[in-house]
């Protein structure tokens, strides 16, 4: 068993489907499937049961999973220890992120950065994507993880991934029994949505307008869990990224796919301003991002310029 096989095992166990797991580890779906089969042959046991819709770990797979996670954690800790011993880094780091981005786990990224560079002072905060972009433009932040492709101006952007938006509603809502919805079904409905500074809100507004959906946003929130609770309590329906609908807080809610024609997507990017690479810790953070499973294969932009020291604003999952 090697580390790559363990990485594939963990990704497939977490995602429960080959397509997304392959995207996370940066290989083709066929490559992932072949690697898992090879591991099963090596161990002489089936690690997953496969159906046309879902993949589930077997008892053998569940038994191996904690050991796989431990191997990956120990390997990362070993690499971090070497970096810590050979590359001293101090100063501060400024990063920003919208909440619950899904495509990238910023808290884990910051944990690993701190483990590698304990002398760097990290300032952590979070805000809506449009507010974060303004702070990067003003030089208050060096790096921001955002869920918008608008209003970038001169900023450098690297797309990390995307996923579809879905509709969530309380099980008592009339739409819950439909199984599927058309755009016309959403017209006149009351919605719970994010504050306009969040990346999803302009996407939702533009999509509804494009399909002639006249809606009333009854509640605007700045917190994912509050949004899900308001939907659960019947105050409206909501358009959210697919990973939000999969949260434990959404377990009671009904998730419906939007019509295929013109369905919006949630796109997550890392955005950078201009900073002096000789004085900033931001390049070291971006190096870790390029090595993160969900972002492997992404060519991370490393701008050069003149910007003083570095703060962090990040995601809570």
Tens digit of each residue's pLDDT (9 = 90 or more) over 100-136: 898 888 998 999 898 888 888 888 889 999 999 999 9
CB 165 within 8 A of CB 244: no
**pLDDT number for residue 180:** 80
- Taking only the tens place, the pLDDT of each residue in 28-49 is 888 988 999 999 999 999 999 9
Mean pLDDT of the chain: 83
- Is the pLDDT at 305 greater than 70, yes or no? no
At residue 92 the predicted structure's pLDDT band, cuts being 50, 70 and 90, is: confident
* Helices of type H across the chain: 3-15, 18-25, 29-43, 59-86, 106-116, 129-137, 183-186, 200-210, 224-232, 242-245, 282-291
Query: What is the pLDDT averaged over residues 139-162?
Result: 86
Domains for the chain: give ranges and CATH numbers: 3-86 (1.10.10.10), 91-160+267-291 (3.40.190.10), 164-264 (3.40.190.290)
**pLDDT number for residue 87:** 62
At residue 186 the predicted structure's pLDDT band, cuts being 50, 70 and 90, is: very high
d(CA 32, CA 26): 9
**pLDDT number for residue 46:** 92
Tokens of 98: 């919208």
Q: What would you measure as the largest C-alpha separation in the chain, in angstroms?
A: 61
């Amino acid at each position: 068993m090697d580390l790559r096989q363990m990485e594939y095992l963990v990704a497939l166990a977490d995602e429960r489907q080959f397509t997304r797991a392959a995207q996370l580890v940066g290989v083709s779906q066929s490559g992932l499937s072949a690697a898992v089969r090879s591991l099963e042959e090596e161990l002489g046991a089936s690690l997953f049961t496969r159906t046309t819709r879902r993949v589930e770990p077997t008892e053998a797979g569940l038994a191996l999973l904690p050991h796989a996670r431990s191997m990956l954690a120990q390997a990362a800790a070993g690499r971090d220890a070497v970096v810590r011993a050979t590359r001293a880094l101090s100063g501060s780091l400024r990063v920003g992120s919208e909440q619950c981005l899904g495509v990238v786990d910023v808290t884990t990224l910051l944990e690993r950065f701190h483990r590698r560079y304990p002398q760097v002072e990290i300032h952590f905060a979070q805000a809506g994507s449009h507010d974060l972009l303004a702070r990067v433009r003003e030089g208050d932040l060096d790096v921001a993880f955002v869920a918008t492709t608008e209003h970038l101006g001169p900023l450098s952007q690297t797309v990390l991934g995307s996923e579809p938006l879905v509709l969530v509603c309380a099980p008592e809502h009339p739409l819950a029994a439909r199984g599927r919805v058309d755009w016309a079904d959403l017209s006149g409905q009351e919605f719970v949505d994010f504050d306009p500074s969040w990346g999803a809100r302009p996407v939702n507004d533009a999509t509804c307008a494009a399909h002639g959906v006249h809606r009333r946003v009854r509640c605007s929130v700045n917190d994912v869990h509050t949004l899900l609770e308001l939907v659960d309590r019947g105050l409206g329906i909501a358009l959210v990224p697919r990973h939000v609908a999969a949260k434990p807080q959404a377990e009671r809610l009904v998730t419906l796919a939007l019509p295929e024609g013109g369905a919006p997507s949630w796109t997550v990017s890392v955005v950078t301003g201009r900073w002096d690479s000789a004085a900033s810790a931001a390049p070291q953070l971006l190096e870790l991002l390029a090595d993160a499973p969900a972002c492997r294969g992404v060519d991370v932009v490393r701008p050069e310029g003149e910007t003083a020291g570095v703060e962090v604003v990040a995601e809570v999952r």
